[in-house]
Amino acid sequence: MIVDDMLRTPAAVADAERWTAHNYHPLPVVISSAEGAWLTDIDGRRYLDCLAGYSALNFGHRHPTLIAAAHAQLDRLTLTSRAFIHDQFADFCRELATLCGKELVLPMNTGAEAVETAIKVARKWAYRVKGVPADQANIVVAEGNFHGRTTTIISFSTDSDARDDFGPYTPGFRVVPYGDLAALAAAVDENTAAVLLEPIQGEQGVVVPPAGYLPGVRELCTDRNVLFLADEIQSGLGRTGETFACQAEGVVPDMYLLGKALGGGIVPVSAVAADRDVLGVLRPGEHGSTFGGNPLACAVATEVVRLLATGEFQRRSAELGERLHAGLHALVGKGLVAVRGRGLWAGIDIDPALMTGRQACERLAERGVLAKDTHGSTIRLAPPLVVTAEEIDHAVAQLAAVLASA
């Protein structure tokens, strides 16, 4: 264990546990500052961040450009609500729409709100444009999905931890196996509004669908007049070596769902982006959020979009991702049973005979590398895209040492 009676950490961990609902099971580290890819805890120990806030920190901790934008905006204007227009709004919407190659964006705050927005827009589009009879629209989703925590979204989760005891559930969703085009085609009918998918399933363990699946989904949706909603909240904005994970197979969805990294690790910012024939179905009063598109969020997120527009982070992710995956693949048979992913994003399966994912993460933390387990023996690695080649090698070496010591 990394706890030590002489340190401040054990008491701080106990205090946090005492005063919060136990909806998370964090590693027993208490972080007090961070810069780039590195975190420092209250006892002065340093850790390489290999989770990056589940990809919310793609640009690292406290990226200077983003921090400067936040400071400048804090000194001028932080909130207006959407009752008025503020001077950061149009730039953000135009630049994000341009990055996405779409005509319109609708900003919200959390990822789950972007998903809820997508569901509402798709249903309204189905009734007003496609001609689906009132309240009959269905949306097809995939097994193993993770789209957030609202009651509607968990209604179509297949993870019992996320779903059980939270019913009654919202109807109108059909669940098919991920990666199975025939099953998807069979589930789509004349009342289908949309197919909602993660191009790579992050929470499920960075599961990449078979080649040809996403282009097949695109073709099916076009043929059957169904919207393809791509949840790129975790996979998007540079994580996989492209701006969007869909690009790896040349696929353009009807709507991008974005979040996490859009807020630069500073503020919660999410958005959906689509063309006017889709997002244009909304009228005043039908949807909204007090904080969605606020001046601070827009000021930071505009700089995020500008960082992405340079292509530098996508390049780093692609190049360093090869190094990460080469290092991890060399550990298959030496404690790892599988490695998946793309760019600086990997799901690794630890040999369950050696240890659980949780135990591996605790031992990695003792060696100064922070990562988080998901589903038993799987660990997700997603370092900030500012990580260096040497730091990647360091993380892989620490993992190798943890596996070898088992």
Ligand X SMILES: Cc1ncc(COP(=O)(O)O)c(C=O)c1O
Q: Is 112 in the site for ligand X (CB under 6 A)?
A: yes
Q: Minimum distance from CB of 196 to ligand X (Å)? A: 10
Residue 111 tokens read as 């990822």
Q: Which of 92, 146, 228, 291 is catalytic?
A: 146
Residue from 9, 58, 88, 110 binding ligand X (CB under 6 A): 110
Q: Minimum distance from CB of 202 to ligand X (Å)? A: 5
Cα 404 to chain center, whole Å? 31
Residue from 47, 146, 173, 313 binding ligand X (CB under 6 A): 146
Residue 275 tokens read as 């063309």
Residue 32 tokens read as 């007090």
245 to 284: interface string for ligand X, x by CB under 6 A:
--------------x-------------------------
Beta-carbon count within 10 A of 87 CB: 12
Q: Which of 102, 124, 260, 372 is catalytic?
A: 260
Q: Is 104 in the site for ligand X (CB under 6 A)?
A: no
Tokens 């960075």 belong to 206
For residue 234, give the DSSP letter.
T
Instruction: Give me the phi and psi of 256, to 5 degrees please.
Output: -95, 135
Cα–Cα distances in Å, from 98 out to 92, 104, 345? 10, 9, 25
Amino acid letter for position 395: A
Q: Is 127 in the site for ligand X (CB under 6 A)?
A: no
Instruction: Give me the phi and psi of 233, to 5 degrees please.
Output: -60, -35
Residue from 36, 60, 111, 347 binding ligand X (CB under 6 A): 111
| Cis amide linkage into residue 168, ω under 30° from 0 | yes
**Subset of residues 61 to 90 that bind ligand X, contact rule: CB under 6 A:** none
Residue from 61, 102, 147, 380 binding ligand X (CB under 6 A): 147
For residue 199, give the DSSP letter.
S
Can 260 be counted among the known catalytic residues? yes
Residue 264 tokens read as 């630069």
Q: Which is nearer to ligand X, 147 or 325 (CB)?
A: 147
Residue from 137, 181, 233, 274 binding ligand X (CB under 6 A): 233
Q: CA 211 to CA 198: how far, in whole Å?
A: 14
Can 102 be counted among the known catalytic residues? no
Instruction: Give me the phi and psi of 96, to 5 degrees please.
Output: -70, -45
**Subset of residues 178 to 207 that bind ligand X, contact rule: CB under 6 A:** 198, 202-203
Stretch that binds ligand X, among 24-32, 76-84, 167-175, 228-236 (CB under 6 A): 228-236
Q: How many degrees, rounded to 5, is the angle at CA 309 between CA 308 and CA 310?
A: 90
Q: Minimum distance from CB of 377 to ligand X (Å)? A: 20
Question: Facing residues of 380 across strands?
Answer: 347, 372
CB 128, CB 148: distance < 8 Å = no
Residue from 13, 28, 53, 54 binding ligand X (CB under 6 A): 54
Q: Which of 41, 49, 231, 254 is catalytic?
A: 231
Tell me the three state secondary structure of residue 277: helix
Residue with the closest Cβ to ligand X?
111
Tokens 């244009």 belong to 280
Q: Which is nearer to ligand X, 233 or 403 (CB)?
A: 233
Q: Which is nearer to ligand X, 95 or 198 (CB)?
A: 198
Residues noted as catalytic: 146, 231, 260
Residues lying near ligand X in the complex (CB under 6 A) are found at 54, 110-112, 115, 146-148, 198, 202-203, 231, 233-234, 259
